[in-house]
Chains A and B, each alone.
Chain A
Amino acid sequence: MIRIESRPEWRRREHRREQLFQLVGAAIVLFALTTLTVLLVKIFLDGYTRLSPEFLSNFPSRRPDEAGIKAALVGSFYLLLLTAALAIPIGVGAAIYLEEFAKRNWFTRLVEINITNLAGVPSIIYGLLGLQVFVRTLSMDRSLLAGACTMALLALPVIITAAREGLRTVPNSLRYGSLALGATQWQTVRYTVLPVALPAILTGIILSLSRVVGETAPLLVIGAVVYISKLPDGLCSPFTVLPVQIYDWTTRPQKAFQENAAAGIIVLLMLLLAMNAAAIYLRNRYQKRLAL
């Protein structure tokens, strides 16, 4: 309810309220900033002493000062590549179908509702799906491939949404131009729409894949192993990834292992930072191109 008030003391009160809210706003801004700073500083202080070339090139060990993240880092890298190889074609394909080919009917709506809902399913449920379908039924065992398939399903809704947004940035005039020249729908998509939309699609994809790099829960469920003394040498070999290694070290009682966890987190955050920087670089380049 709004009351219109004009008595001086009321007006003063309103003024005070206004100032109070400004203060609350400032406090909240500070809260967010402080939290982030404290988090980053705490992790850096815990972990920086452990950062060394050996930390990157050693395998996990029972002795914390000899343990390293080589297996985890390489595992994360392979998992990312494999997940991308699986999820990008399917995700972009689905996005092209929904944006460029599909008629607006009940089926398309069903697919869309589905994708929205899949994006909201907790990641650990994808772990259960991967455990039952890939690890057991398709007997991929606790392999890199099973992990990548699970992560691909997890990343798919986000990739589809990102790719659709990328396709939507292409103006219709380009499509009409191509179609008017006699190109078929697929030719239009392949030679006109996709090249123009590619940077935007890529930006979205990199951002969704950076979530895959930080994801832990589904990989714990399908059984990423922590102690690995050799690098994965094929699709079927057991693997571990950086977040799983961090989880393992964090849950140990010894302080030295927790320092390892902090050092692992620093590496993980650097990796994410690099991916996001790549995405921002692409976005900026692409914005310049649109301005032409």
Chain B
Amino acid sequence: MAYARAVVRVGVEKRNRWRVRLEERIVRTLLFLCALVGIVTTFAIVLILATESVGFFEQVSLVEFLTGTVWTPTFANPSFGVLPLVTGTFLTTAIAMAVSGPVGLLTAIYLSEYASPRVRRVVKPTLEVLAGIPTVVYGYFALTFLTPLLQRFIPALEGFNALSAGLVMGIMILPTVASLSEDALYAVPNSLRYASLALGATRFQTVWGVVVPAAMSGISASFLLGISRAVGETMIVAIAAGQQPTFTFNPLRAIETMTAFIVRITMGDIPHGTVEYRTIFAVGLLLFVITLALNLASEAIRQRYKGARL
């Protein structure tokens, strides 16, 4: 059908070739502009984060921002040490990775090296569904299910805490880590497995001694991407981890992450142009730089292992 239509159209257009050429140029330019939108977006992000941050750092010294341990930008006597937000983010990210790292890797190994097609048919859609659940739903789950459950075993656990937010975040990131790690394991050529097995190694030894080391770069790339997701995740921590910037590494306490801080400030009506308003862009810049570095590192590792010949 597509063929026939093309033939007819071309026959008609041939009579006014200049019009066809003009149309071709216009369309090409329009499509080019579409492709340009991506670059414009990146520039816009960098530009707004940078300009507002410059305004912020005219009033707050960079040293105070990066080394201070008290974060009270909305108080009458404000203090702008971002470290409590950084430790809060670090804490939830570390807990999330403690779940999704090992479980994700084991899931990937199990799916790619052990599981029968029947098991795969169950597990893969389950992971896809877990990946498709909105983060606000995970937040609800952490706050109303996991925290009360954990409080039965850990009485010291506060109502808002880094622990259950981090654990649920780990479940959220699990599909990312698992599917990217599985891709990496899948890319290991079978010849390596056969060689190892032919030498008398067991399957366990083959997996841990040959396949996993060969896929190590891809696995670490998936971990880096997982960390980046955890750092940028907003809703779970805004709901379940609390909104108290505390300089602590205690997972049982209420904390505040960089993302949750941005939510808290924008929910209140902070007037435009004030230092308080600019803090969200300074924190946003820090968040952007961290996630960009992680994403670039992950991409670089992935590209390298794609090129590597085993």
Q: Is A236 an interface residue (CB 8 A)?
A: no
Contacts A120-B295, A184-B24 given; indicate if A32 touches B126 (C-beta within 8 A).
Answer: yes
What separation, in Å, do the CA atoms of A174 and B287 have in the docked complex? 46
Contacts A21-B114, A216-B135 given; indicate if A178 touches B6 (C-beta within 8 A).
Answer: yes
Q: Is B235 an interface residue (CB 8 A)?
A: yes
Inter-subunit contact A188/B6 (CB<8 Å): yes
Contacts A131-B266, A184-B20, A185-B24 given; indicate if A276 touches B7 (C-beta within 8 A).
Answer: no
Interfacial chain B residues near A85, Cβ < 8 Å = none
Q: From residue 203 to 260 of chain B, which have CB atoms closer than 8 A to chain A?
A: 203-207, 209-210, 225, 228, 231-235, 238-239, 259
Interfacial chain B residues near A251, Cβ < 8 Å = 239
Q: Is A132 an interface residue (CB 8 A)?
A: yes
Partner of A123, one of B42, B210, B232, B295: B232
Interfacial chain A residues near B194, Cβ < 8 Å = none
Partner of A117, one of B42, B115, B259, B272: B42
Q: Is A136 an interface residue (CB 8 A)?
A: yes
Inter-subunit contact A94/B52 (CB<8 Å): no
Interface size on B, residues (CB 8 A): 98
Q: Is A290 an interface residue (CB 8 A)?
A: no
What separation, in Å, do the CA atoms of A268 and B9 have in the docked complex? 45
Q: From residue 29 to 79 of chain A, which have CB atoms closer than 8 A to chain B?
A: 29, 31-33, 35-36, 38-39, 42-43, 46
Q: Is A153 an interface residue (CB 8 A)?
A: yes
Q: Give chain B's interface secondary structure class.
A: helix
Q: Is A228 an interface residue (CB 8 A)?
A: no
Inter-subunit contact A118/B210 (CB<8 Å): no
Interfacial chain B residues near A36, Cβ < 8 Å = 126, 129-130
Q: Is B196 an interface residue (CB 8 A)?
A: yes
Inter-subunit contact A101/B31 (CB<8 Å): yes
What separation, in Å, do the CA atoms of A128 and B61 have in the docked complex? 22
Q: Is A25 an interface residue (CB 8 A)?
A: yes
Inter-subunit contact B2/A2 (CB<8 Å): no
Q: Is B67 an interface residue (CB 8 A)?
A: no
Q: Is B140 an interface residue (CB 8 A)?
A: yes
Inter-subunit contact A261/B140 (CB<8 Å): yes
What separation, in Å, do the CA atoms of A170 and B287 have in the docked complex? 40
Q: From residue 99 to 133 of chain A, which have CB atoms closer than 8 A to chain B?
A: 101-102, 110-111, 114-118, 120-129, 131-133
Q: Is B71 an interface residue (CB 8 A)?
A: no
Interfacial chain A residues near B98, Cβ < 8 Å = none
Inter-subunit contact A181/B7 (CB<8 Å): yes
Q: Is B174 an interface residue (CB 8 A)?
A: yes
Q: Is B299 an interface residue (CB 8 A)?
A: yes
Q: Is B187 an interface residue (CB 8 A)?
A: no
Q: Is B15 an interface residue (CB 8 A)?
A: no
Contacts A36-B129, A188-B6 given; indicate if A114 touches B42 (C-beta within 8 A).
Answer: yes
> Can you list 16 A-B contacts with CB-CB less than 8 angstroms, sorted by A residue number?
A2-B201, A2-B205, A6-B200, A25-B109, A29-B119, A36-B130, A39-B137, A111-B36, A116-B299, A122-B233, A124-B287, A127-B266, A186-B24, A195-B5, A196-B2, A250-B143
B residues bordering A, Cβ < 8 Å? 1-3, 5-7, 9-10, 13-14, 20-21, 23-24, 27-28, 30-39, 41-42, 44-45, 48-49, 52, 103, 106-107, 109-110, 114-115, 119, 122-123, 126-127, 129-130, 132-137, 139-141, 143-145, 171, 174, 196, 199-207, 209-210, 225, 228, 231-235, 238-239, 259, 262-263, 266-267, 272, 280-281, 284, 287-288, 291-292, 295-296, 299
